[in-house]
Chains A and B, each alone.
Chain A
């Protein structure tokens, strides 16, 4: 009798250990899956077009992804809390235009001051989003759909009252150099994006506030019971998203040199695609910065591959849409499968 019950106990424990492993494996599978997908794309495209495999091309990919990744990092903070920020494209567009215009009008100005100005502008826009969502209790999707257009309108007003376009020749070389400088052989743009990702990733991992963002997205009621201040943190996430969009805007102006009122239009869809492809759950509570950055890199690589393989760029947007739908559907199916498997295992145990 005793042996049987001990056996039962042992099988139970084993099944629990398996179950825990299963779940952590599935949650980690997204990042490794993305890496595998990335390698697969690189090999397939590399065979078709060997120039795809050059170091130079990889640097190009990372350069094109850097700004997207910075914005995706901010978006991740918001999505983790079960919200979404649709206004990122307009915030980037606004700060890019204003920063470039600022440098055009005041060419002698300190570079750092200009950068700070851009970041501050983004922060203000983000704070407005946060106020409307957190304290005005307007659903994030409605609020940021509204500000997506309102902020874009602001860009057009600014452009209409100043200059419709800022050209590369209008701004000081120091500003443009932001995008081209290399530090230790690595382009500054990539370095900045990497530093941002590391800082925010570190914040999410090692601070109370960071962990509480996950808690809010995972179970808002439970978060409330243990005294987590949901409004403040959600507000903070939106403000941070704005700040990072501000920085991305400054870099956008430097990288593309020529900016008009329509720059970065539609960026929000790329960013959301990167975030959900990167395994950040669109319903909040799980996901990592590493995942979001990998998601951006995968999208950037695909874009680059289309270019090299001479496939029309017009496929890109459809691809972003398919990526969003695909990632969300995949998540839903995995969750369902996981629940069923665990239930079945438990019944057996």
Chain B
């Protein structure tokens, strides 16, 4: 009985419920919502980049850090790709360079955080502006869009015999890899240990700084991959690609039940949150609410995913105190 109740009140159960409610509302709002095309094509892929970047972000936040520069790294990688392609370089080189740029950007974040012992929050606010700025420096207000179909198929084309785009396959593979790392590997265990208590982690022989560096490099690399997918999906490399996506990524991770101070959370929750965000955006788009206004909903979602548990805890504390007061007055 107790176990059943504790299962009913986990954050993940709440998210499943939220997802179902979202689907019901979505299908009431629009008859197209539950159509096969919408479910298979639009739902998972319209927020593909956010979904992919949320994976390393989950790890970073669980380890007690944050990376706000991901959307800018995405933009910078996208621009690098476009710039090199436009100059007549082969596609593989452009893709490789874009990934490298992401890794280097992440490495710089990691260096500033570990070598100078600066909080990642401050560092990545700075690089959020810096990397986006570099993207503008490289391409200015131009856009590159004459990509080969083989490349744009990555985003547009579907896996033969299904209606799933190729990017869904990439996402699914990444989810499996990240789930294994986070929940079954040594590194994953160390991440949780760091997020709970960095000092105790250090006293247990965990190389905290090296792991932080790895995380930021990973985050940069994945953001670059997201940049490549974004470029492919929209067939366009522009310096303002994915501006503000860091909001969505952080929102998804916190909504997924990951504690902002680190140490707690699961990938399952984040995956559910990704789907909730997908459903939300999809439903809002179907009723013709523009992306700019959608950000209102997402901003509120972000705040409430932290505020909600805080308030719940406060209420619990008040109830407990009242119960205690009643108990002690009885004794007296």
Instruction: Check whether chain A touches chain B (CB < 8 angstroms).
Output: yes
Which A positions have Cβ atoms within 8 angstroms of B? 84, 86, 132, 136-139, 141-143, 145-154, 156-157, 160, 261, 269, 272-273, 282-283, 312, 314-322, 324-325, 328-329, 332-333
Chain B residues with Cβ under 8 A from A138's Cβ?
303, 306-307, 310
Q: Knowing A156-B292, A332-B117 are in contact, say whether A148-B130 is a contact too (CB < 8 A).
A: no
Q: 1/0 per residue B171-215: CB within 8 Å of A?
A: 000000000000000000000000000000000000000000000
Q: Which listed residue (B117, B123, B130, B300) contacts A146, Cβ 8 A?
A: B300
Q: Name the prevailing secondary structure of the A interface residues.
A: helix
Partner of B132, one of A132, A141, A321, A328: A321
User: Which B positions have Cβ atoms within 8 angstroms of A?
Assistant: 66, 68, 112, 116-119, 121-123, 125-134, 136-137, 140-141, 239, 244, 246-247, 250-251, 254, 260-261, 290, 292-303, 306-307, 310-311
Query: Contacting B133 at CB < 8 Å: which of A132, A136, A318?
Result: A318
B130 cross-chain contacts in A, Cβ below 8 A: 318, 320-322, 324-325
Give CA–CA (A136, B309) in the complex, Å.
Answer: 10
Q: Are B126 and A325 in contact (CB under 8 A)?
A: yes
How distant is the Cα of A315 from the Cα of B254 in the complex, in angstroms?
Answer: 33
Contact among A86, A132, A321 with B303 in the assembled complex (CB-CB below 8 Å): A132
Q: Whole-angstrom distance between the alpha carbons of A282 and B250 in the complex?
A: 22
Could you tell me if A157 and B293 are in contact, using CB atoms closer than 8 angstroms? yes
- With both chains docked as a complex, state the minimum distance between the C-beta of B112 and any C-beta of chain A, in angstroms: 7
Task: Please report the C-alpha to C-alpha distance between residue A139 and residue B119 in the assembled complex, in whole angstroms.
Answer: 14
A156 contacts B311, C-beta separation under 8 Å: no
Checking B119, B123, B127, B244 against A149 with a beta-carbon cut-off of 8 angstroms, the contacting residue is B244
Across the interface, do B307 and A132 meet the contact criterion of CB distance under 8 Å? yes
Neighbour of B128 across the interface among A84, A142, A282, A321, CB < 8 A? A321
Which residue from B133, B246, B254, B261 sits with its C-beta under 8 Å from A320? Answer: B133
Residues of A within 8 A of B129 (CB): 269, 273, 317-318, 320-321, 324
Residues from chain A with a CB closer than 8 A to the CB of B127 are 321, 325
Chain B residue nearest in CB terms to A143: B303
Whether the Cβ atoms of A142 and B254 lie closer than 8 Å is yes
Known contacts A139-B260, A316-B133, A325 near B310 by CB under 8 Å: no
Give B72's nearest chain A residue, CB to CB. Answer: A321
Q: Once the chains are docked, how many angstroms separate the CA of A145 from the CA of B128?
A: 13
Which residue of chain A is the closest to B310 with respect to CB atoms?
A: A137
User: What residues of B have a CB within 8 angstroms of the CB of A328 in the complex?
Assistant: 118, 122-123, 126
Top 10 A-B residue pairs of the complex, sorted by shortest distance between their CB atoms: A153-B296, A318-B133, A321-B130, A321-B129, A150-B299, A317-B133, A149-B299, A324-B126, A325-B126, A146-B303
Q: What residues of chain B lie closer than 8 Å to A282, measured between beta carbons?
A: 122
Say whether B303 contacts A156, CB under 8 Å: no
Q: Which residues of A contact B140 (CB under 8 A)?
A: 312, 314
**Closest beta carbon of chain B to A281's beta carbon, Å:** 11
